[in-house]
Structure 1
């Protein structure tokens, strides 16, 4: 679009309301009586200038403050719904989310799950809202800050007469020694920390321009903060997961892409002495033993990038630490905390294969409950095949054996027993205090022989590379908030016009303070105090209304 050349010679972008240099209103039919709208210095904003193409319409949409506010409202409402019931990450790991919400919270819980609120903060549409908010902040800022910066940088000291007399603070005076008066006013304004520029005997005093950038600094801080929030859903950037590891076990650390493994060499639990009078009352209130300390002797291993995933023989030790509560194992941004423990978890169950009639044993099998074998050979033609294994046995709604979780809290087995006398095999279901023969009476049985237990430690793994973004974004936001809240952009123009001295002032807030500073600067110089044209307009309007009421009352 064609640019607009002002009578002062400055070429303005199309859509400019006030000349960036002299301040003269560009539109010929502009209301010459009203005060100027100085919100953005009358600059040409792209969203109000280019409105035809598809990209222009997208820019217009996201540059709207109303749109930004609505995006914030929708994000806040969605976040509120996400807190009605616990998120999926906080429900027990051994239950199915689709049944947990319905059973715990009824119909509302079922609707909550079906609408996807159970995993709200990781959902694609919530991330889309965050991204839309970020785009809105970026476009809103660029649409305003770039032309505003150009206009403030281009502004001349000598401004158009129509620009001056349409400022909110404006006044004219006649003095004899103009040069001396202006020098006095200039010195006083400089004492008040104004930066004074001079041109053709005219003055422009300005201070606090940096406060105009406060909202945009806020936007930068928010954008960085939102980036940190979104980075939490990038692999490797944020980890907050739990792991349960048994004594003597080495397992992969969650959220590390199989790069790190953790070994639990031993678990130690210390209890308060029940005979100690100092703790007797507290132990009695607790109803049993109270843990004094529990810790895990842990070893962190790193897998060679070229090694086979899961091959523990190719791991290299990188850290060793006794993990206690509030004393984690930390390594290269990874922290592993002690949070819980479980004593005497079932580890190995032993059974003997016996002939029911005579009680004769054909041998013993030891079933590792965490990694059972498919077949156990007892020799002499006898073997036991593990057909089904249910670590945490239960009967489901269809009355079929199933498992609640992979933790061996209530193990159940379906064995096929093969002996020289029963080469076709016999089926037996064995669980805690249960020994069933679902296909008819058997000649042989699996009889419980022994049980081994182990201690399990509960750890939480945390890694957060997004914290620097959150801290930096929050800090920048606070800087912008302070910058825009505690300072104001103030300008005072003193200009010679037809033998008079015109004074005009503008600020983005706290007009009474600016008026006071101008009065102090021109005190005892012969210059008259500028009037607040907005206040005078309001007073005149009230006076006219009152006069109209009085006339109406007289006519009646």
Structure 2
């Protein structure tokens, strides 16, 4: 595109409204303005200059503040919808999500799953939204900060008179009313106020706190780093927050370590407040809830495999740590922390039965069913045996066809469909056995199964946490706060004094706190003979109000 050469000789990029050097208006619209729009110093922004190629259109789309705001709103709405129903990782019992949402929440659940809200924060379209916010921040910043920096860097001391006249603060003092030492007094007071002073041919540009103009862009840098940290959490190995249920005596692989580390639950300990000793402090809670947990902990052993794992070959494991995990007292190793988050007492592990003849009460053997891994057949000798035809770990009732159903794979309410074989009944008899259930669905049997006992154990919920992105998030947050402070507590102020044969022109501009600048200029010019500049915006508003009042009286 064609560049614009100003009368002062400075070459400006195409689309510049005010000359970067002298401030002269370069467009008819700017020449007709009462006050210049100084938001970006009248500099040329790419989004307002180029619009032909596909790259220009993409740039212009993402450089819009409205687009950025809408992207943030859409992301917030999506994030809120992700909390309406539990995410996939929090589905109880490890049920398949395609079944869970429809069964529990009906049509709403099916719709929730179909639209991908069940795994929202890992879905491609949610990550695309977050990435779009980052792209918008980068393009918005580059579209504004580069031309703004160029314009501020190129500004001359002796700005064009038309530029000064269109500043909000403007005033002119005749040469005859000036004190001989006026300019020297002003320079000294400006210096006392920490202004950086540049002087040329009797004109002065006093400027301070320019760095505050970069506050919003420092905010953007902090947000971009924060978003990068958030998105890195989806990179394998960077972030882990996974909870596993581990039973007493059980050894499980530590998630995210590729079977390098294993953890064993040696014992679970549950302590409650004593109803007599702690009655004064916890009497109300004990009366309301019964037992109140005082401490629950899991005694664990951490193992590390040594050597290469080969198919069918056991690998030696060396003991790395032995520790008790309590609430807020995790086990830490490497980049991992293991927290005690929940527990379950007395989970059923096995159930024992005896095979009895109904009319005589004679027992013909006993067997035990491992509820985690039941066998298909139990041989009781002398021609007696029991076959397991169906196992329902969490029996929830019968369907419309009379088939037994299970709510989950956990043995919360185990039920069994057995076939009983004896010398008298070689073809077998069918019995349905559950807790407080002993049914004979095909007619009355000669033999029955009697409950003989149970075994149980406690389960711990351990959460394995690893986060290599925390420092990135912390850096992003710190930079963001620096930008907030930078832009909120300092203001970019400029005061121009242009000396001519007719007198002195004074103009002032700030990006924030006009009242503060007005008070500061008043203090600097006090007693020097130079008139305090007028606030042209307030004067314009006052004149407009006066015209409205006059028109009202004329109509009356």
Q: Shorter-chain-normalised TM-score: which range?
A: 0.7 to 0.9
- For the 8 Å contact 2:219–2:480, the answer to whether it is kept is yes
Q: Distance in 2 between matches of 1:47 and 1:258?
A: 52
Q: Distance in 1 between matches of 2:107 and 2:410?
A: 30
Q: Is residue 2:220 matched to residue 1:225?
A: no
Q: Secondary structure of 2:263's partner? A: strand
User: Which residues of structure 1 form unaligned runs of 5+?
Assistant: none
Q: What's the CA shift for 1:99?
A: 7.1
Q: Partner of 1:293 in structure 2?
A: 295
- For the 8 Å contact 2:521–2:532, the answer to whether it is kept is yes
Q: Secondary structure of 1:527's partner? A: coil
Q: What's the CA shift for 1:391?
A: 1.7
CA spacing shift, 1:405–1:302, aligned 2, 3 Å: farther
Q: Does 157-166 or 101-110 show the bigger shift?
A: 101-110
Q: Distance in 2 between matches of 1:304 and 1:11?
A: 70
Q: Distance in 1 between matches of 2:49 and 2:415?
A: 74
- For the 8 Å contact 1:377–1:384, the answer to whether it is kept is yes
TM normalised by structure 2 equals: 0.87
Q: Distance in 2 between matches of 1:423 and 1:96?
A: 40
Q: Secondary structure of 2:461's partner? A: strand
Q: Partner of 2:74 in structure 1?
A: 74
- For the 8 Å contact 1:345–1:408, the answer to whether it is kept is yes
CA spacing shift, 1:261–1:388, aligned 2, 3 Å: farther
Q: Partner of 2:148 in structure 1?
A: 148
- For the 8 Å contact 2:395–2:407, the answer to whether it is kept is yes
Q: Secondary structure of 1:157's partner? A: coil
Q: Partner of 2:23 in structure 1?
A: 23
- For the 8 Å contact 2:413–2:435, the answer to whether it is kept is yes
Q: What's the CA shift for 1:151?
A: 1.4
CA spacing shift, 1:33–1:91, aligned 2, 3 Å: closer
Q: Partner of 2:319 in structure 1?
A: 317
Q: Partner of 1:41 in structure 2?
A: 41
Q: Distance in 1 between matches of 2:531 and 2:395?
A: 94
Q: Deviations over 1:76-104 (max 9, x none)?
A: 33334344455555564466767766777
Q: Secondary structure of 2:309's partner? A: coil
| Matched ranges for 1:70-469 at <5 A | 70-87=70-87, 89-90=89-90, 92-93=92-93, 112=112, 115-175=115-175, 180-254=181-255, 256-276=257-277, 278=279, 281-282=283-284, 284-286=286-288, 288-303=290-305, 306-307=308-309, 314-352=316-354, 363-376=365-378, 385-398=387-400, 399-415=402-418, 428-436=431-439, 438=441, 447-469=450-472
Q: Does 40-49 or 329-338 show the bigger shift?
A: 329-338
Q: Does 465-474 or 128-137 show the bigger shift?
A: 465-474
Q: Distance in 2 between matches of 1:73 and 1:283?
A: 43
Q: Deviations over 1:315-365 (max 9, x none)?
A: 333332111222221223322222333322211223455677877766544
CA spacing shift, 1:239–1:397, aligned 2, 3 Å: farther
Q: Deviations over 1:464-486 (max 9, x none)?
A: 33333333322222221221122
Q: Secondary structure of 1:281's partner? A: helix
- For the 8 Å contact 1:375–1:385, the answer to whether it is kept is yes
Q: Secondary structure of 2:51's partner? A: coil
- For the 8 Å contact 1:259–1:305, the answer to whether it is kept is no
TM normalised by structure 1 equals: 0.87
CA spacing shift, 1:511–1:385, aligned 2, 3 Å: same
Q: Is residue 2:81 matched to residue 1:64?
A: no
CA spacing shift, 1:153–1:93, aligned 2, 3 Å: farther
* Count of matched residue positions in the alignment of Structure 1 and Structure 2: 553
Q: What's the CA shift for 1:163?
A: 1.6
Q: What's the CA shift for 1:490?
A: 0.6
Q: What's the CA shift for 1:141?
A: 0.8
CA spacing shift, 1:162–1:310, aligned 2, 3 Å: farther
Q: Distance in 1 between matches of 2:111 and 2:546?
A: 61
- For the 8 Å contact 2:25–2:31, the answer to whether it is kept is no
CA spacing shift, 1:439–1:29, aligned 2, 3 Å: closer
Q: Distance in 2 between matches of 1:343 and 1:210?
A: 61
Q: Distance in 2 between matches of 1:208 and 1:9?
A: 29
Q: Distance in 2 between matches of 1:58 and 1:492?
A: 39
- For the 8 Å contact 2:271–2:293, the answer to whether it is kept is yes
CA spacing shift, 1:552–1:332, aligned 2, 3 Å: same
Q: Secondary structure of 1:193's partner? A: coil
Q: Partner of 2:511 in structure 1?
A: 508
- For the 8 Å contact 2:179–2:529, the answer to whether it is kept is no
TM-align CA RMSD:
3.4
Q: Does 121-130 or 215-224 show the bigger shift?
A: 121-130
CA spacing shift, 1:551–1:267, aligned 2, 3 Å: closer
Q: Secondary structure of 1:326's partner? A: coil
